[in-house]
Amino acid sequence: MYELPEKLKNLTPYVPVTGQYRIRLDANESYLTAPGWLRQELAAAIEKLDFNRYPDPYTVELCQKFADFFDVLPSQVVAGNGSDELIGLIVSSFTSTGEDMVVVNPDFSMYSFYAQMNGVRVHTFQKPELALDADALIAFAKERAAKLVVLSNPCNPTSLAASQADVLKIVEELSDRLVVIDEAYMDFAEGSILRIAPRHDNLIVLKTCSKAFGMAAIRLGFAVAGTQITLALKAAKSPYNVNSMTQAAGCVLLSHPDYLRGCTEQIKTSRTELYQKILALAKEKAEILEVADTCANFVFLQMLDARRVFDALSARGIIVRLMAPRLRITAGTAEENREVVGALREILD
Ligand SMILES: *Cc1c(COP(=O)(O)O)cnc(C)c1O
């Protein structure tokens, strides 16, 4: 009789929110959908593809466009099928079974998921406060002999950003291990280390098109690092990991830097609006215990009974992310922000 490997036995497929919701503020997606002119350019680019041919394994044109946008060298960039794929690739190729890896909590759950799949021991650095204490994390990683340290900055779900100085300190103090800084939300914040990433031979910075750029559907992410690491990533990845349609769409998208910066600004305006509305509500309602400052496109708030509020929002057709005792609410359109805050007010009245 065939028996599943131990690590698969208790694994269940990732279940995104299903069901019909009027307002979806649960996944930190952009609320801006591609405008007509962009759709036409995307369609035209895809129409030209040689569908019988394999994609470019090194995504040369795409990496060039990304490099132009972010002011790095194309040789320092590797594209992935979402940054998710790159996280999995990094964990599986830069660590071995039985080795140690450090993640922080709360943070993005995929890091430890891939560690488990690869038999890598996860040591979780519990943040006593929502903000990250860089010195404590450095000491923790050294004690655990971690080969790999991964964190998001700004952090999902706390919405807080560590300073550039703190992040560089982590990279430099842990210079004999690999540090991965996931900058999925850095478009909305200050303190990116993307441009200077290649100067550090133990650092990978991750980017995604799924958040500020509003292209979660195409699955496109990037890793930026020095030459030694980019070459290793290119060698370790599966050859045709980014399909031709995604490469073509990414090239079109990154050819419009002003449009992308405009989208980012609109989303920042929306999240500040949402943050201020929630902050004002928190002044009236004792049930809202804490609202974290936001450096991302979502607001993270602690409640007396987050589950009750989550259920009541769902019943009104509004889906947010429950991380009891907290809720994470993605910034939406002005109307969606008004609705979610109005609903919160009703629920708490
Ligand atoms: C959303 C998110 C990503 C994006 O992943 P993709 O696979 O590129 O869509 C990566 N890291 C963090 C922390 C995120 O929240």
Inter-residue contact 230 to 203 (CB < 8 Å): no
130 lines ligand 1 (CB under 6 A): no
Count Cβ atoms below 10 Å from residue 147 Cβ, excluding itself.
Answer: 18
User: Residue 261 C-alpha to ligand 1 middle, in angstroms?
Assistant: 19
Distance CA 106, CA 93 (A): 25
**Residue length of the chain:** 349
Question: Over the stretch 76-128, which tens digit does the pLDDT of each residue have?
Answer: 999 999 999 999 999 999 999 999 999 999 999 999 999 999 999 999 999 98
Read off the pLDDT of each residue in 221-233 and give the average, rounded to a whole number.
98
Average pLDDT of the chain, as a whole number = 96
The HSE-up count of residue 35 (CA atoms within 13 Å, CB side) is 7
Task: Please give the model's pTM, rounded to 2 decimal places.
Answer: 0.97
Question: Over the stretch 14-49, which tens digit does the pLDDT of each residue have?
Answer: 877 777 899 999 999 999 999 999 999 999 999 999
Percent of the chain with pLDDT over 90: 95
Residue identifier of the C-alpha nearest atom 12 of ligand 1 = 184
> What is the structure's pLDDT at 17?
74
Q: Comparing C-alpha atoms, which of 322, 324, 320, 323 is closest to residue 332? A: 320
**Residue 199, both tokens:** 């100067």
Inter-residue contact 89 to 235 (CB < 8 Å): no
Q: What is the three-state SS of 23-42?
A: EECCCCCCCCCCCHHHHHHH
| Nearest atom in ligand 1 to 108's CA | 13
Per-residue CA distances from 269 to 85, 144, 274, 276, 282 (Å): 30, 41, 9, 11, 20
User: Residue 146 C-alpha to ligand 1 middle, in angstroms?
Assistant: 23
Distance CA 226, CA 201 (A): 6
Site to probe by mutation for ligand 1, drawn from 114, 182, 298 as the one with most ligand atoms within 8 Å of Cβ, is: 182
User: Residue 343 C-alpha to ligand 1 middle, in angstroms?
Assistant: 28
108 lines ligand 1 (CB under 6 A): yes
User: Residue 152 C-alpha to ligand 1 middle, in angstroms?
Assistant: 9
Distance CA 86, CA 122 (A): 18
